[in-house]
Structure 1
Amino acid sequence: MKIFVTGCDGFVGSHIAERLASEGHEVVAGCYADPLFISERKQMSIRRFNLGLPETIRPCLEGVECIVHCAAIFDLAATVEQLHAVNVQGTANLLQAAKAAGIRKFIHFSTAEVYGTPQFTPLTEDHPLHPGTPYGQSKLESERLVQAESANGRMDTIIIRPSFIYGPRCVYAAGMFVPLLVLKEMGIKKLPVLYGDLKFNCVHVDDIALFVAYAIQSGKGWNSIYNLADNDIVTLEPAVRAFYQIFDFKPSFRLPYPKRSLRCFGYVGPCLMALGAFQPLAWFLNWYWGRICRQYQLKQALRFPKLDRCMLHFLRVDKHFCFDNQHVLATGFKFKNQSFIKAFDVMLAWYREQNWIPDYSKA
């Protein structure tokens, strides 16, 4: 099958394109910028396009039977206008071009952020939709565009709501660990261990790509919405201890997860932000990370998430971020990765190989 995959200059799209090509599909890898991780090969051609310019989309769809739409602005600091232009209007442009080309299959990547603050857990696909950020709202609006095409019978569609995605090539989310590297370089050797009932499950990018390939190959599960989150439910204290071990920190003492304090901080934080209270901290972290990159001659690829109003939204969460995956398992799909901690360690090893983070074993 000839498949157009958008967002192949990014994290998820590049993995999906490689997986589909390896399984014998003819892949048109759509890129907005020069791809960092993939190149043209047998079964894969690379095409530059812009979701905001329909005339650049149409040539990419010649002979295509299925579209996998991964391209989006994933940035909690992006403006509402930027998010709407790409995530909503860009999806509308792609759907219009797909209909004109007679394409009947469309897989759309949304986000678990469309649920907002959990009202119950584990979150199922019928959980109320109340996005807490402009990014989540833009993805919900794009979902509705895709659902409309499925409802009127013009297309067979799948909407994917992934949990936290991790794995090699992950740039944005992995940047959250930059503060640990900064603390390590500052000579901090011990840190308190948080404990509590907070739980979460994630999804490895390999499983994302495997599910897309499975759905296309098997023909199962179309015209539906799926959470993608693996079976490994991670609790707070074991995760913190594992991360400390990975970064060679020693636990000092146990500290209860301050749910109420963080929830209150999530509400008063915007007031502090308006006063510029977070700017010195953000500046210091970015400055120190730049210093580390120069010292170890690193590729400055990891992006530390901006301390902004949208980031503060997540501090208000005092419930589990566990996503129910029974719906996707009912299709017959099986997750490959069974341990978040082990796979995360492998991901960091890849970062060291790529010179994205220091390799302290060589020190």
Structure 2
Amino acid sequence: MEKGLIAISGATGFLGTALVKHFLNKGYRVRAHAHTEDKARQIDRRVEDIVIGEISDDAMITELVTGADFVIHTVSNFRYASGKAESYRRINVTGTKFLIDAAVVAGVKRFVHCSTIGVHGDVAKTPATEDSPFNPGDLYQETKLESEEYVRSKMGKSDMEIVVIRPCSMYGPGDLRMLKMFKMLSKGRFFFLGKCKENFHAVYIEDVVSAFAKAVEVEGIDGEVFIVGGPDGYLPLRGYVGEVAEALGAKPPELTFPYSLFYAAATLCEMVCVPLGIEPILHRRRVRFYKNNRAFDTSKAERVLGYHPSVSLQEGMKRTVAWYRERGLL
């Protein structure tokens, strides 16, 4: 039975790649977006329709959404301290505006937007819910919030249904963003900054994909926002790092340095490197990893969306480590 056409922006990213595979396996037709020709070569060979170009390109966006039943928007400009503010706005904000506006014109049935728990920033009152205050802590989070706010402003303004997903910290096979931490732990070089009693909330990639699948298929969720996390919930950062170390077969780190000292050093490093267009070896975002409180209530997604994550942190980390090792990354 024909299930319809899903257009996926950012189809070569960590989440996008997993979504393409899932929906193809479920019998959907998939139209995939890639930023460049080189990126397009990474897309699953079963995808018959690939659209290439900038997410802020009107013509490309029109081609991407025309005839689609569903659109899933995953593109974002991730955090780089040396990244220019203009690029964050062009991709995270302008690209999102162009895409959702084009989807309305094209008569798309449902638009699913990938936001982030980062819009809540350092959570003051835990666990945070979908209605908790926004508190973005950097340019990435600020522009992700602005793009989400634009998406939500379109809710109820047309026949197109809109759903927003805010995933917790995603991890799993295919993710290279956390590889540096895994390497440091495996070599016994990881250290803490400060007490690290603040909470961390992770979610395995398969569980995130299941949330997006439900966001496409479940009826009666137009205009809803959902936070999705792993089945273990949140835990202190030291506990999270300990789980990674256990999966690696490494000794849990004990070495601790003052947080304030490294934050000051990161600030200075950014002041010197960013104007020169150089990515700092140490910047404030990385330091805030040790300090920000990230604890979330995912009960709304479980209750309304029917989201039930199944991959524990322990199991997910084992799979992630195995994937890294199979590819010689560890």
Matched, 1:149 2:122: no
C-alpha separation in 2, matches of 1:84 and 1:275: 21
Tell me: CA distance 1:156–1:29, structure 2 relative to 1, closer, same or farther (3 Å).
Answer: same
Shift of 1:8: 0.8
TM-score (norm 1): 0.78
Matched, 1:75 2:71: no
Matched, 1:352 2:325: yes
Question: 1:221 corresponds to which letter in structure 2?
Answer: I
Tell me: CA distance 1:104–1:349, structure 2 relative to 1, closer, same or farther (3 Å).
Answer: same
Match of 1:327 in 2: 300
- How big is each residue's C-alpha offset from its partner over 1:223-243, in whole Å with a ceiling of 9 and x where there is no partner? 111111122133445444433
Tell me: CA distance 1:99–1:308, structure 2 relative to 1, closer, same or farther (3 Å).
Answer: same
Matched, 1:20 2:23: yes
Shift of 1:154: 4.5
Give 1:166's match in structure 2, choosing from 168, 171, 178. Answer: 171
Shift of 1:329: 0.4
- How big is each residue's C-alpha offset from its partner over 1:291-313, in whole Å with a ceiling of 9 and x where there is no partner? xxxxxxxxxxxxx9952233334
Give 2:264's match in structure 1, choosing from 256, 261, 268. Answer: 268
Match of 2:124 in 1: 119
Tell me: CA distance 1:104–1:217, structure 2 relative to 1, closer, same or farther (3 Å).
Answer: closer
C-alpha separation in 1, matches of 2:319 and 2:265: 35
Residue pair 2:72, 2:113 contacting (<8 A) in 1 also: yes
- How big is each residue's C-alpha offset from its partner over 1:58-86, in whole Å with a ceiling of 9 and x where there is no partner? 12223111100001111242221110010
C-alpha separation in 2, matches of 1:310 and 1:250: 26
Tell me: CA distance 1:273–1:306, structure 2 relative to 1, closer, same or farther (3 Å).
Answer: closer
Give 1:337's match in structure 2, choosing from 307, 310, 328. Answer: 310
Question: 1:62 corresponds to which letter in structure 2?
Answer: T
Shift of 1:220: 4.3
Matches within 5 A, 1:268-347: 268-273=264-269, 306-317=281-292, 320-347=293-320
C-alpha separation in 1, matches of 2:215 and 2:95: 24
C-alpha separation in 2, matches of 1:213 and 1:146: 19
Match of 1:175 in 2: 180
Matched, 1:32 2:5: no
Tell me: CA distance 1:222–1:176, structure 2 relative to 1, closer, same or farther (3 Å).
Answer: farther
SS in 2 for 1:347: helix
Question: 1:134 corresponds to which letter in structure 2?
Answer: L
Matched, 1:110 2:115: yes
SS in 2 for 1:202: strand
C-alpha separation in 2, matches of 1:30 and 1:142: 19
Match of 1:227 in 2: 227
Match of 2:250 in 1: 249
Shift of 1:93: 1.2
RMSD over aligned Cα, in angstroms?
3.0
Question: 2:7 corresponds to which letter in structure 1?
Answer: F
TM-score (norm 2): 0.85
C-alpha separation in 1, matches of 2:75 and 2:191: 38
Residue pair 2:165, 2:226 contacting (<8 A) in 1 also: yes
C-alpha separation in 1, matches of 2:165 and 2:208: 9
Tell me: CA distance 1:250–1:344, structure 2 relative to 1, closer, same or farther (3 Å).
Answer: closer
C-alpha separation in 2, matches of 1:2 and 1:265: 52
C-alpha separation in 2, matches of 1:86 and 1:352: 33
Q: Which runs of 5+ in 1 are unaligned?
A: 278-282, 284-303, 358-363
Question: 1:53 corresponds to which letter in structure 2?
Answer: D
Question: 2:54 corresponds to which letter in structure 1?
Answer: N
Residue pair 1:73, 1:87 contacting (<8 A) in 2 also: yes
Size of the aligned set, in residue pairs, is 320
- How big is each residue's C-alpha offset from its partner over 1:103-124, in whole Å with a ceiling of 9 and x where there is no partner? 2311111111111111111111
Shift of 1:195: 7.5
C-alpha separation in 2, matches of 1:270 and 1:355: 31
C-alpha separation in 2, matches of 1:275 and 1:26: 48
C-alpha separation in 2, matches of 1:205 and 1:149: 28
Tell me: CA distance 1:326–1:266, structure 2 relative to 1, closer, same or farther (3 Å).
Answer: farther
Q: Which runs of 5+ in 2 are unaligned?
A: none
Larger radius of gyration: 1
C-alpha separation in 2, matches of 1:196 and 1:351: 26
Shift of 1:352: 1.4
Residue pair 1:202, 1:230 contacting (<8 A) in 2 also: yes
